[in-house]
């Protein structure tokens, strides 16, 4: 290569880099500056305005082996929630209440940062927050799960699996939990005069319950039909990211990794807070920033309630 040629070839290389490679390299090498440039132009790397959440999709009844299930997609974040009901004896302190056990799982398939084996710290934190939110939101009245006071009640196991972790995990997990609970159908049961409860299984090809005719005639039975769970207003979580003066709603994993400071707001109606969560972070909040986050959450609340309504309608049609 001669001295005259060198600058020319360098500029060609530079052009090639500029055309396709440079953005990707810049993104990997300087993730903060990459996002900052977008924020200065008041857009996000995926083209959203700062305050808007990603497209959200809710499908109910995806898993036929459960009593209620939902698949939720929030952008790329995917959550699958299922509710299994089983008969149990209520605790003596709350004889006319059932129980609900929540388990949030982040298997290694969901993100490269999750290691197999011990549950991740984040998973524990989300699990705890989810339990707190569901307990304080009055979404489920636990008395709904009661069958006979002091003797039997339903125990609901709500398991949420994160299939793809791309930010705003609590938002998606809560939405999946709510949707799965909306989908719950409490099976029909028969209670004999000794108070023994039995689940009646309907076969798909016949409408008659699969209980032996002789047995029915032997003892008096009370049959309780299958029913839907009555639910309160659905709580909606919105994750907001704070960076300098910007407020980003529903961050992706890429944004979460770089910007650090997060505020999670949970509402169930425009002027009822259920939970507020701001764990540390480098950006400090004043009361007005918190109120801004609540305002963003209010807008999102309407949208999510509409999405949930549509999902139930679609489920009803099928």
Q: Does residue 94 interact with other proteins by CB under 8 A? A: no
Q: Does residue 258 interact with other proteins by CB under 8 A? A: no
Among 275, 300, 301, 308, binds other proteins (CB under 8 A): 275
Quick one: 68 exposed, middle or buried, by C-beta within 10 A (0-12, 13-18, 19+)? Answer: buried
Q: Residue count at the site for other proteins (CB under 8 A)?
A: 37
Residue 239: closest CA among 308, 174, 303, 311: 174
Among 87, 216, 247, 276, binds other proteins (CB under 8 A): 276
Are residues 172 and 236 in contact, defined by beta-carbon separation less than 8 angstroms? no
Instruction: State both tokens at 247.
Output: 């407020």
Q: In the bound complex, what is the minimum distance in angstroms from residue 293's beta carbon to other proteins?
A: 10
Q: Does residue 244 interact with other proteins by CB under 8 A? A: no
Q: Does residue 149 interact with other proteins by CB under 8 A? A: no
Q: Does residue 268 interact with other proteins by CB under 8 A? A: yes
Q: Does residue 287 interact with other proteins by CB under 8 A? A: yes
Q: Does residue 273 interact with other proteins by CB under 8 A? A: yes
> Which one of the spans 63-71, 206-214, 218-226, 285-293 is the region binding other proteins (CB under 8 A)?
285-293
Among 32, 43, 124, 223, binds other proteins (CB under 8 A): 124
What is the 3-class SS of 123-192, one letter each residue? HHHHHHHHHHHHHHHCCECHHHHEEECCCEEEEEEEEEEEEECCCCHHHHHHHHHHHHHHHCEECCEEEE
Please state the separation of Cα 166 from the chain's center in Å.
12
Among 48, 54, 278, 300, binds other proteins (CB under 8 A): 278
Q: Does residue 285 interact with other proteins by CB under 8 A? A: yes
Please give the radius of gyration of the chain, using alpha carbons only, rounded to the nearest integer: 25
Where on the phi/psi map is residue 291: left (φ > 0), alpha (ψ -120 to 50), or beta?
alpha
Instruction: Summarize as ranges the residues that interact with other proteins (CB under 8 A).
Output: 118-119, 121-122, 124-125, 127-129, 131-133, 135-138, 263, 268, 271-282, 284-287, 290-291, 294
């Amino acid at each position: 290569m001669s001295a005259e040629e060198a600058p020319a070839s360098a500029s060609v290389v530079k052009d090639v880099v500029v055309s396709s490679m440079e953005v990707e390299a810049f993104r990997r090498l300087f993730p903060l500056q990459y996002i900052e440039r977008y924020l200065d132009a008041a857009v996000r790397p995926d083209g959203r305005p700062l305050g808007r959440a990603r497209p959200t999709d809710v499908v109910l009844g995806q898993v036929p082996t459960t009593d209620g299930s939902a698949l939720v997609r929030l952008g790329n974040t995917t959550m699958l929630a299922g509710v299994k009901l089983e008969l149990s004896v209520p605790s003596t302190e709350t004889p006319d209440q059932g129980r609900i056990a929540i388990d949030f799982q982040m298997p290694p398939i969901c993100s490269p940062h999750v290691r197999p084996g011990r549950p991740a710290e984040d998973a524990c934190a989300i699990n705890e927050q989810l339990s707190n939110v569901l307990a304080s939101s009055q979404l489920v009245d636990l008395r709904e799960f009661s069958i006979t006071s002091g003797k039997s009640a339903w125990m609901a196991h709500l398991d949420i699996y994160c299939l793809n972790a791309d930010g705003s995990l609590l938002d998606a997990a809560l939405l999946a939990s709510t949707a799965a609970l909306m989908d719950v159908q409490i099976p029909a049961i028969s209670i004999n005069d000794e108070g023994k409860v039995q689940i009646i299984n309907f076969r798909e090809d016949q409408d008659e319950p699969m209980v032996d005719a002789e047995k029915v005639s032997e003892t008096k039975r009370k049959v309780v039909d299958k029913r839907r769970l009555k639910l309160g207003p659905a709580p909606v979580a919105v994750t907001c990211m704070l960076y300098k003066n910007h407020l980003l709603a529903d961050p992706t994993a890429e944004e979460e990794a770089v910007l650090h400071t997060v505020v999670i707001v949970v509402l169930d109606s425009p002027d009822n807070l259920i939970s507020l969560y701001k764990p540390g972070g480098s950006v400090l909040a004043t009361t007005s920033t918190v109120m801004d986050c609540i305002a963003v959450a209010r807008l999102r609340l309407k949208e999510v309630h509409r999405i949930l309504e549509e999902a139930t309608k679609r489920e009803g049609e099928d």
